[in-house]
Amino acid sequence: MKIAMVGSGAAGSVFACYLRKGGAEVALVDRYQAHMEKCASDGMRFVTPEGEELIQGFQTAPSIGEVAPIDIVILMVKATQTETLIPELQACVRPDTAIVSLQNGLGNDELLSRYFPAENILYGFGTIGTELPEPGKCVSKPESGVIMRFGAVADGPVSRKAGEYLETCFNCGGCKTVFEKDIRPFVWKKAISNSGYNTLSALVRLKVGDMLSDENGLSLIQSVWEEGCAVCQAVTGIDLRPELKAELPRLQEGFANYYPSMAQDVLRSHRKTEISVLNGAIVRLGALHGVPTPVNATLCELISCIHNNYEKQYGA
């Protein structure tokens, strides 16, 4: 099966390398021309805790239309960019093409379900720190245990075939993966966790470990999580508080020296963040279900103010 990785930045490149190592045919789709040219000509230098290796055999292109036909489309663009890609996706996919969102946040499944059959859609995430230090080189900083989870919006032959294939390729490539029967609690847990450490790291300009080591930082993260868990319980009936309590040692062990994606967006790239699908989604769903979310609402306003005014900030 041919896979298109649409959005082959840091995370997309890491996921693509695991799939390629597992035997998949992978096309990288991204507008970062220097990165695409380097991967096409020389391959991708793939750095993991085990060392560095060269992964070759990628097809590359700036748009998905140039690599069609495709059996599986994996979306790794910012979640806020997905809707702009819909016309291009609709022009390229077939009735038996699977659409897979491995993007951050809540609501990716609902958005895709407005345009494609639910039986063709999968969604999930990887718990992997990633970096793209230069064109043609990506870095994977995985956790221990299962680091990739996804599931189908609705069971069907297309989603089942794609899910089983991706599970096999990721695992064979060294990325421990589970194709879940019910992905919802895992997606909610990841989104709530991210809404705490990811957003606050961007605001206070600290790595995850430094945030967790400060009593004020830890208190803020726990406040975000408590609101997120209350909203999740109202929406799904699932109480994630015990799972979120167990997150702190995991984050300290696996992400202590890492600037998460929103911090990189704000501090390095000066680009629009995914706040709307993280804390923003918690706020919107909380309002729909009568759950107060004042901490998350305040963080949304702070991050939005920052990325609406990069050029006016002190030192710019």
112 and 129 share one domain = yes
pTM over 0.75: yes
How many structural domains is the chain composed of?
Answer: 2
pLDDT bracket for residue 251 (50, 70, 90):
confident
**Is the same domain home to 122 and 201?**
no
169 and 198 share one domain: no
238 burial type by CB count under 10 A (0-12 exposed, 13-18 middle, 19+ buried)? middle
Q: What is the CATH number of the domain that holds 268?
A: 1.10.1040.10
**Domain shared by 194 and 238, yes or no:** yes
Q: Are residues 260 and 116 in the same domain?
A: no
Residue-wise pLDDT tens digits, 102-144: 999 999 999 999 999 999 999 999 988 889 999 999 999 887 7
pLDDT in tens, 28-44: 999 999 999 999 999 99
Mean pLDDT of the chain: 94
Is there a single domain that holds both residue 118 and residue 255? no
Q: How far is CA 89 from CA 16, 38, 60, 63, 204, in A?
A: 19, 25, 17, 10, 38
What pairing do the DSSP bridges indicate for beta strands 51-55 and 25-29?
unpaired
Tokens representing 96 are: 């038996």
The tens digit of pLDDT for each residue in 159-206 reads: 999 999 999 999 999 999 999 999 999 999 999 999 999 999 999 999
Rounded alpha-carbon distances, angstroms, from residue 191 to 180, 254, 316: 17, 17, 31
Using alpha carbons, list the distances in angstroms from residue 151 to 3, 75, 119, 169.
Answer: 17, 14, 11, 15
Domain that holds residue 203: 185-312
Q: How is residue 68 written in tokens?
A: 């069609």
CATH number at 56 reads: 3.40.50.720
Q: Check whether 71 has a pLDDT greater than 80.
A: yes
Same domain flag for 65 and 10? yes
Nearest to 254 by CA among 141, 138, 140, 125: 141
Confidence bin at 316 (pLDDT 50/70/90): low
Domain-terminating residue out of 154, 181, 208? 181
Four-residue CA torsion sign, 96, 154, 162, 254: positive
Same domain, 121 and 197: no
Cis peptide before 69 (omega within 30 of 0): yes
Same domain for 138 and 98, yes or no, is: yes
